[in-house]
Chain A
Amino acid sequence: MQVKFELVTYDEKLDKFELDENIYILELDDEQAKTYELLKDADLHLYNWFKEADFFLNWIKEEVYPNSIGKKFAICDIDDISYRRFYFFKVTSGDIHYKYFQKLFKIIEETDWQDREDVGREILAKLLVRRKELVMELKNDTKA
């Protein structure tokens, strides 16, 4: 089974993500494909499975970013599943992202008072921490 990946690279000094315009294809074996099918609707669980998987990190190190020890990156899209809101959310982003993050970060509306701008700023503040948890770094040993 083939899975399509899009990635972002992370500049720690600038705390900035940049989209890697390439699309990378990873071939999953049967067992990996079974796990993928089980997790593909599980949002961050799917992300974390790849993040922790040696086969994925080895593939990145050997085929996607060879000779790039120290490079920091994160997964942007896996097939049609997108995580790009974590890196590129803005106050002017669409309502669907607001709803997603309000649920994820448990941002509760008082009654009807909260401005979109206030909620957007709160999301951005929480994202500063959360998105760093998604970042992977290529290291000499197998684990990124």
Chain B
Amino acid sequence: MDNKYIKDMLSQMDKELASKGMSRRDAMKLAGLSSAGFLMGGTNAQAAEEEVITKHETNDRILIIGGGLSGMSTARRLTTKLNNPDITIIEPNEFSSNYQPGQTLVGGGIWDIDEILYKRDDYLPEGVKLIKEKAIAFTPQKNYVTTDKGTKVEYDYMIVAAGLQMDFERIKGITDAGRVYSSGDNSNLLKVLGDDVCSIFTAEGAERTWEIMQKKIEEAKKASPEKPVRWIFTHPNTPIKCGGAPKKIMNLANARLKEAGVRDNVEMLFCTNGGAMFGIPEYHDAVLGQFKREGFKWNYRHNLIEVHKDRKIAVFDAKWQEKGPWDPIMHEYEVVPKHEKVEIAYDFLHISPPQMAPRELRESDVGSAAGWIPVNKETLQHFQYKNIYAIGDVAQVPMGKTGGSVRKQYKVLVDNIVAQIQGKKLPAKYAGYTVCPLITTIGTVMLAEFDWSVKPTPLFPLDPTVERWMWWLMKIHLLKPMTQIGMLQTGKA
């Protein structure tokens, strides 16, 4: 991709802005940023203090496991900080660098799948070696990994950026779908899910979601407000890529139903394992308000555990709490958790599957019982092996499984690894910032930004709980070039 792409994107954005009587300059001013500044790092102020980079010398071998956004952007940034670095990436998947945030838009019929398919090799930084194999065994005590083809790769520093797997195996009735990555051949998954069940959590699955949604909209035309069909959207009991994604696709489906004039014929039901719409109270309130406004129904503490595809029944483990016995020492009644299986019929089922670190990592000495790579959440350095770092979905970092988090993390990681190579103290800390552009309908987005303070932390001087057309334009026109140009191609954003 070259500058022509971004020019086209911005010109498309200009047209939309002009239709609302606004120039891009005015719109950006309103949002508190410039397009160039945004692409290269955030606000005007940040862009202005663009760093003067001093390259450091090293003969150390840096191995990166995984060629997704995290791995490739980190490699790119390392090449800007080190002279002739010896960097190797192990990644077998040709489409590992896909633009995953766009999967929701594909699932909602806004984009075609071609718009999110990035070829890994197009983003390989010059001088960086690529091994098109899969790392399957980790020997951190001796600083080497072994691939599925028996290649032994030694390193001085290792960065684990292997992403995560969608674990459909945990859901009875569709266990044959197995564990899958978001990109690559997922034909088996689609076959197992069938014609009424879908998931935007893979690229092919997103495309399939839109196909099924269109078919189901036609079926909804035959229903009535008195006898509605039911569309269910689930949220699992594990951390997931982009915690807002299950709601985004529900909102896009809602918009498509309205567009077709059949919204009243469909009961929209959100079933989440959690006990709230969002972990940040301000966003919880805002999302709940939007759910009520749109006439959505919801069940908290409902975790999908089984699907009867033949009968179109989704089975949930439903949990609640009851008052327990008196605790004479704590001077209070205990809280006793209860649960039972609940069956709910569906006509359309969108699954956000349980997600976990790849098994070979989870079960290795690099992994942990919790399932993720145990790193210091601020420095991203492994707790036990100080020459290992982890970034992105696979890292045991709370609230970190979004591209927005990676955009902050990769700078921290590179600063720290470069400092460690020079024998210095780790200087950089990740503060937990993440961003979720929560699509609320076609044309509006609530830009949920937050960090470990568990408070909204907007970069832009606007109320973050308000759904805005500006953020929609940013989501569909700017975020993609920001990752492509800003992170993957330059390592600067």
B239 within 8 A of A: yes
A106 within 8 A of B: yes
- Which residues in chain A, 77-106, are within 8 Å of chain B measured between CB atoms? 84-85, 88-90, 92-95, 97, 106
A110 within 8 A of B: yes
Q: Which residues in B have their C-beta under 8 angstroms from that of A117?
A: 337
Q: Which residues in B have their C-beta under 8 angstroms from that of A112?
A: 235, 243, 272-279, 284
With contacts A88-B329, A113-B237 known, is A108 near B334, CB below 8 A? no
Which one of A19, A89, A108, A114 contacts B274 once the chains associate, using CB atoms below 8 Å?
A: A114
With contacts A113-B238, A113-B243, A113-B274 known, is A108 near B333, CB below 8 A? no
Task: Kindly state the separation between the CA atoms of A97 and B332 in the bound complex, as whole angstroms.
Answer: 11
Task: Kindly state the separation between the CA atoms of A116 and B279 in the bound complex, as whole angstroms.
Answer: 13
Which one of B237, B244, B336, B452 contacts A111 once the chains associate, using CB atoms below 8 Å?
A: B244
B344 within 8 A of A: no
A109 within 8 A of B: yes
**B399 and A110 form a contact (CB under 8 A):** yes
B260 within 8 A of A: no
B335 within 8 A of A: yes
A50 CB → nearest B CB, Å: 21
- Which residues in chain A, 89-144, are within 8 Å of chain B measured between CB atoms? 89-90, 92-95, 97, 106, 108-117
- Best-surrounded residue of A92, A110, A113, A114 (most CB of chain B within 10 A): A113
B171 CB → nearest A CB, Å: 16
Task: Kindly state the separation between the CA atoms of A29 and B239 in the bound complex, as whole angstroms.
Answer: 53
A91 CB → nearest B CB, Å: 8
Number of B interface residues in the complex (CB < 8 A):
34
- Which residues in chain B, 307-328, are within 8 Å of chain A measured between CB atoms? 319, 321, 324, 327
Q: Which residues in B have their C-beta under 8 angstroms from that of A89?
A: 330
**A106 and B452 form a contact (CB under 8 A):** yes
**B334 and A111 form a contact (CB under 8 A):** no
**B279 and A115 form a contact (CB under 8 A):** no
Task: Kindly state the separation between the CA atoms of A114 and B454 in the bound complex, as whole angstroms.
Answer: 15
B10 CB → nearest A CB, Å: 32
**A95 and B335 form a contact (CB under 8 A):** yes
**A93 and B332 form a contact (CB under 8 A):** yes
Task: Kindly state the separation between the CA atoms of A112 and B332 in the bound complex, as whole angstroms.
Answer: 26
B288 CB → nearest A CB, Å: 11
Closest to A114 in B: B274
Residues 255-276 of chain B, each 1 if its beta carbon lies under 8 Å from chain A, else 0:
0000000000000000011111
B398 within 8 A of A: yes
B432 within 8 A of A: yes
Task: Kindly state the separation between the CA atoms of A109 and B281 in the bound complex, as whole angstroms.
Answer: 11
**B337 and A116 form a contact (CB under 8 A):** yes
Q: Which residues in A have their C-beta under 8 angstroms from that of B432?
A: 108
**B274 and A84 form a contact (CB under 8 A):** no
With contacts A92-B324, A115-B273, A116-B321 known, is A109 near B332, CB below 8 A? no
B351 within 8 A of A: no
Task: Kindly state the separation between the CA atoms of A115 and B320 in the bound complex, as whole angstroms.
Answer: 11
**A110 and B243 form a contact (CB under 8 A):** yes
Closest to B303 in A: A115
**A92 and B334 form a contact (CB under 8 A):** yes
Closest to A117 in B: B337
B374 within 8 A of A: no
Task: Kindly state the separation between the CA atoms of A111 and B278 in the bound complex, as whole angstroms.
Answer: 5
- Best-surrounded residue of A19, A93, A109, A112 (most CB of chain B within 10 A): A112
- Best-surrounded residue of A94, A111, A112 (most CB of chain B within 10 A): A111
With contacts A111-B279, A112-B274, A116-B337 known, is A94 near B243, CB below 8 A? no
Q: Which residues in A have their C-beta under 8 angstroms from that of B239?
A: 110, 113
Which one of B274, B277, B335 contacts A93 once the chains associate, using CB atoms below 8 Å?
A: B335
Closest to B398 in A: A108
Closest to A111 in B: B243
B236 within 8 A of A: yes
Task: Kindly state the separation between the CA atoms of A7 and B319 in the bound complex, as whole angstroms.
Answer: 37
B377 CB → nearest A CB, Å: 9
Q: Which residues in A have their C-beta under 8 angstroms from that of B240?
A: 113
Closest to A19 in B: B329
Q: Which residues in B have their C-beta under 8 angstroms from that of A84?
A: 329-330
Task: Kindly state the separation between the CA atoms of A113 and B275 in the bound complex, as whole angstroms.
Answer: 8
Task: Kindly state the separation between the CA atoms of A94 and B329 in the bound complex, as whole angstroms.
Answer: 13
Task: Kindly state the separation between the CA atoms of A117 and B324 in the bound complex, as whole angstroms.
Answer: 15
Task: Kindly state the separation between the CA atoms of A88 and B238 in the bound complex, as whole angstroms.
Answer: 28
With contacts A108-B279, A108-B432, A111-B243 known, is A93 near B454, CB below 8 A? no
- Which residues in chain A, 30-76, are within 8 Å of chain B measured between CB atoms? none
Sample of 13 more A-B contacts, CB < 8 Å, known A19-B329, A92-B336? A84-B330, A85-B330, A92-B324, A93-B327, A93-B332, A93-B334, A94-B334, A108-B279, A108-B398, A111-B244, A111-B278, A112-B277, A112-B284
Instruction: Show the binding face of B for A, using Cβ within 8 Å.
Output: 235-240, 243-244, 272-279, 284, 319, 321, 324, 327, 329-330, 332-337, 398-399, 432, 452, 454
Q: Which 10 A-B pairs have the closest CB atoms?
A: A112-B274, A111-B243, A109-B279, A92-B334, A108-B398, A112-B276, A111-B279, A110-B239, A94-B332, A88-B329
Give me 17 A-to-B residue pairs in the complex whose CB atoms sit less than 8 angstroms apart, sorted by A's number: A19-B329, A90-B334, A92-B324, A92-B335, A92-B336, A92-B337, A94-B332, A94-B334, A108-B279, A108-B398, A108-B399, A108-B454, A110-B239, A111-B244, A111-B399, A113-B237, A117-B337
